[in-house]
Structure 1
Amino acid sequence: MARMGQGFCPAFNQRVYEAAPGIICEQDVAVKMRDGVTIYTDIFRPKNATEKIPVIVSWSWFGKRPGEGMSEWQIMGVPPQTVSNLAKFESPDPMYWCYNGYAVANVDVRGAGHSEGDVHMFTHQDSEDGYDFIEWIAQQVWCNGKVGMAGNSGVAMHQWRIAAYQPPHLACIAPWEATTDLYRESIFEGGVPALSFNEFIAAQVTGMGGVDDQVAMARKYPLMNGYWEDKIPDFSKVRLPIYATAGFSHFHLRGSVQAFRKAKSRKKWIRMHRDFEWPDSYNPDNLEDLKRFYDRYLKDIHNGWELTPKVRIDVMDAYDCDYQVQRKENEFPLERTEYKRYYLDAGKMTMQDAPVEVKSSVSYDGNTEEVVFDMEFTEDTELTGYMYLHLFVEADGHDDMDMFFNIQKADKDGNWIPWTTLGEPHPGAWGKCRVSHRELDPELSTKFQPVMAHRRELKLSKGEIVPIDVEIVPSSRIWHKGEKLRIQIAGRYIREGWFEPLAWDTDNHGKHIIHTGGEYESFIQVPVIPPKFRSGDYVYR
């Protein structure tokens, strides 16, 4: 366990007080876990409630009173005073939910703040504690016995794991943006280690004990094993109502969609969007939407929620312009998807829809250069779902390669057309691959999503050319006639001006070589979505 220290931990102060007009707070309430460890929670609820009410739980190791002593919350992309100082980071705001007839419980999990023990990062211990807390709070005299969970990012990640333990009084969850396979989506995305960023995240936790040192464990266990598998929820046991979201612009994307697809609940909904997670979470329209979900499953109000489309998708276009907003769909990936392959030609740095006959190759410096392959669309084309790359690659001067991929749009003259989030250009739908991790897991892989096993390293020998299959995170975007599909390939992460300290610990030396044509059929498979209706020149998507 590693020591903690950079987060915020307010003074221990057990009391009951009026936190805002009409809202009372029971502060630093002690709750005992099954093994005798005591954790602490702040419970906000309407002061003059005449009926028993449901409770929404925020469960994470971020401190439960981060706004204490601040004049206002500062949340990127959210105007000042939008979120009250009573809210926990990335969590439901009591000054919205209490005024709508809900209690909110902000929990310092085991090891966080003044809670006893050590912080367990997304492990079975954390899930058991979540189970115990939910069953405890459901029995409180003011509670109607129905408990929900809410929050985005780290607060969302816990929800899937706790729901898999099936606490009897957990009635529904709303995990908005959640990494759900820490190894594949965060610590070793594509096999490329991202240890410095995860050290930054762990440093935000403050408590009296230690914290599960995932970075030290990554150095000790760089391949998939029981430690990492323990952090993956058992989605087959997640059977309660779910309202999830997935943002196309953030690193929680893959996990959010995987969880939605794999959860066994028959009552599950997802909203897929371009925006960053924080402004999306506190958008008033989205709050009202979430309230309808909670009203249905925590208050048993028959408000027609079941008529909400199972899948809603923002089809992105350019910059902050979306081609379609919250388009209604029944499933994801879409049943009407037509998968097509475009074959790379290194001789021309283009792609085409038929295999390339002539062999050629292109190389770039693994640390400083990049290459792009472009293909012009001759008609409006929507790509929604999963893409993947099948490439033949070679390392010149080393026994491994770390490769970074972005799927982009360019105009007819080759100028990049990004989409934006928080006003900044986004690099595009992405994928990564450490070539020594190229072996796939046959049980997890599908015809549209290759999934690496990460069970062993397969180093390259001099002159060896190997095939790799690289999954690209799901996305939804329109390319207009004359615009170009672009694949950007480099040995590093390419992005400027972004506020999060994203970084990967690459191991590149010498040149990366991509082979195409002839026996080296390198291609990208894309999910083409045909229009729902077409009549002459009229197209409805």
Structure 2
Amino acid sequence: MSENESHTSFLETCFGFRKAAQNFTKLRPDLSLGDPTVCFPGFRQHVTIFKAGQQIQKDAKRLPVDLVMHERVPVIFCQMTPSCITMSPNGKKLGTTVLEDFPFRALVPKHWLLGPDTAFWYAKGYAIVNVDTRGAYTSEGELIIMGHQEAQNEQPWCNGKVGLTGNSWLALSQWKIGSLRPKGLAAFAPWEGIQDIHRDILCQGGTNPINTSGTLRADRAIAESVPKLLLMYDSREWPDYYAGSSCRGLKRFFNCFLKGHRDNGWLVTPKIRLSILNLGLSGLDSTVNRSELEWPLARTVYTNGSIKFRYHVPADMETTGHFTTRLAVLCPSNAGMDLFIQVCRLRGPSFYKQGVLTIRLQNTVVLRLLKLLHDWQIGLQNVGMLFRWRSNEQLRVSHAHKKSTFAAPLEPVYNHVSEIPLEKEEIRVVEVPLRPSGIPQKDDIMELTSPGICVPTLQGEDVGNHVIHCLDREHCSCLVIPCA
């Protein structure tokens, strides 16, 4: 099959999935470019005149003189400049995701687009190219989330050095573009984005998606000879990406590779920096930006937790690393089963879940209210995305038989290219990897649950009774805990 035939077949599959997904998805209506909520109405040049004595905003001082404002004036670069490119189907506000979908708009100011802050980067000598994929926002054509699209390779104002930047989908596209190694690409910085579309979003664990992962696996796949930095932060991706410290660090990275400032210190900075979450809203800060020499941590000791699925933490301990769940499972009525695994922390006489705020609010009153909701476990259905509660993962048992080359000790990764159905009355031992988690405190309860829930699936195997067996010590069902 030729490359064009393969791509045509891929597009036909995408349209088929889209038609099926319409049974589960409520589509967001389009907004016109004239809508007042639109962030970017396009490159419309116009002149606005403000008269002396006019009050621009309520409570603002009146203007002492006339002001003439020329908006969206084309700029001619006085010298060749590097460019930072971001590309996604999100649109400059309209598209698959808008920040208004998140509590407090994820602390991202309303005048910022999904992408790098142009006010910061222009002042640092960079051109920002914010690309809408075909069919997104004002770009013509059909909106295809995945697939190849052509792009113009060179611009006369660019110095020939290009960097990719952005988070979420804007990071996903960087892994694919980077793998093609286009001319001019000097560096890219995927700020939390999946690397393996099949494993991390389409069929995570062989099932339909719940969340995304893959940054840690992607870092391990990059050769140590390649200059790289693994950064784990303590908030959600959007506020962290726009934070001043993050922008300054990213500027030093791009200055090194896009402007040739090899002596600016980036090459000798620690290449692994961790943030360890302190669960429970106790007032204790999380550990942020801690330097390490390797990942996973070489000093980690893996301990089997209780087969009772609740583990009493005997002392303060750090669990920085990959949890793994080993389960001996049986499904008497079906040849396939989907596992959904969660590990959370419980505290206090009522065994309330312990979470951590994912954005850094400055309003003391709001913080106290959120702590009240957290501690009493009430009203959380309205603010759930503000908290991170647990490590979770899922796995289709029929896929858990052949490990991928991406697998590592105590971090199983499966190929997902073939299935071995369960035989009648077969007890199968499987390993389910979970995402790294934070620090439990003394007398916390670490709870492992398998809720048996899933998102709407096109081909589900989560039917019938699921049985978990204890078995003997060597093959027992347990939670493997990383103790650093």
- Aligned twin of 1:84: 111
**2:17 is equivalent to residue 57 of structure 1:** no
TM-aligned CA distance change 1:466 to 1:328, over 3 Å: same
- Aligned twin of 1:419: 356
Report how far residue 456 of structure 1 moved. 2.5
TM-aligned CA distance change 1:50 to 1:23, over 3 Å: farther
Distance in 2 separating the partners of 1:63 and 1:314: 31
Per-residue CA distance 1:441-478 (angstroms, 9 max, x = gap): 253322121112222233334322111111112x2411
Count of matched residue positions in the alignment of Structure 1 and Structure 2: 401
Report how far residue 24 of structure 1 moved. 5.3
Distance in 2 separating the partners of 1:10 and 1:395: 54
Residue 455 of structure 1: SS of its match in structure 2? coil
Paired residues of 1:83 and 1:93 also in contact (CA < 8 A): no
Report how far residue 418 of structure 1 moved. 2.3
Aligned partner letter, 1:306: L
Distance in 2 separating the partners of 1:280 and 1:503: 31
- Identical pairs, percent: 29
- Aligned twin of 1:518: 472
Distance in 2 separating the partners of 1:9 and 1:164: 36
- Aligned twin of 2:62: none
Aligned partner letter, 1:490: P
Paired residues of 2:240 and 2:246 also in contact (CA < 8 A): yes
**2:397 is equivalent to residue 435 of structure 1:** yes
Distance in 2 separating the partners of 1:256 and 1:455: 22
**2:186 is equivalent to residue 171 of structure 1:** yes
Aligned partner letter, 1:289: G
Paired residues of 1:146 and 1:171 also in contact (CA < 8 A): yes
Paired residues of 2:276 and 2:439 also in contact (CA < 8 A): yes
Aligned partner letter, 1:482: D
**2:226 is equivalent to residue 266 of structure 1:** yes
Report how far residue 412 of structure 1 moved. 5.8
Aligned partner letter, 1:514: I
Aligned partner letter, 1:432: Q
Distance in 2 separating the partners of 1:318 and 1:275: 13
Distance in 2 separating the partners of 1:273 and 1:121: 27
- Aligned twin of 2:264: 303
TM-aligned CA distance change 1:503 to 1:337, over 3 Å: farther
Residue 97 of structure 1: SS of its match in structure 2? helix
Paired residues of 1:403 and 1:489 also in contact (CA < 8 A): yes
Per-residue CA distance 1:212-264 (angstroms, 9 max, x = gap): xxxxxxxxxxxxxxxxxxxxxxxxxxxxxxxxxxxxxxx33x22121122123
Paired residues of 1:395 and 1:512 also in contact (CA < 8 A): yes
TM-aligned CA distance change 1:490 to 1:186, over 3 Å: same
- Aligned twin of 1:148: 163
TM-aligned CA distance change 1:61 to 1:79, over 3 Å: closer
Q: TM-score, normalised by structure 2?
A: 0.73
Could you say which structure has the higher strand fraction?
Answer: 1
Residue 292 of structure 1: SS of its match in structure 2? helix
- Aligned twin of 2:336: 400
Residue 163 of structure 1: SS of its match in structure 2? helix
Residue 433 of structure 1: SS of its match in structure 2? strand
Paired residues of 1:185 and 1:255 also in contact (CA < 8 A): yes
Paired residues of 2:107 and 2:239 also in contact (CA < 8 A): no
Aligned partner letter, 1:342: G
Paired residues of 1:314 and 1:476 also in contact (CA < 8 A): no
Paired residues of 2:202 and 2:208 also in contact (CA < 8 A): yes
Distance in 2 separating the partners of 1:415 and 1:453: 37
TM-aligned CA distance change 1:339 to 1:22, over 3 Å: farther
Paired residues of 2:322 and 2:410 also in contact (CA < 8 A): yes
Return the match for 2:313 from 368, 377, 396.
Answer: 377
Residue 277 of structure 2: SS of its match in structure 1? strand
Is there any run of 5+ residues in structure 1 with no aligned partner, and where? 27-46, 198-250, 350-372, 494-501, 530-541
Return the match for 2:176 from 142, 161, 177.
Answer: 161
Distance in 2 separating the partners of 1:101 and 1:118: 34
Report how far residue 485 of structure 1 moved. 2.1
What is the RMSD computed on CA atoms of the aligned residues?
A: 3.4
- Aligned twin of 2:371: none
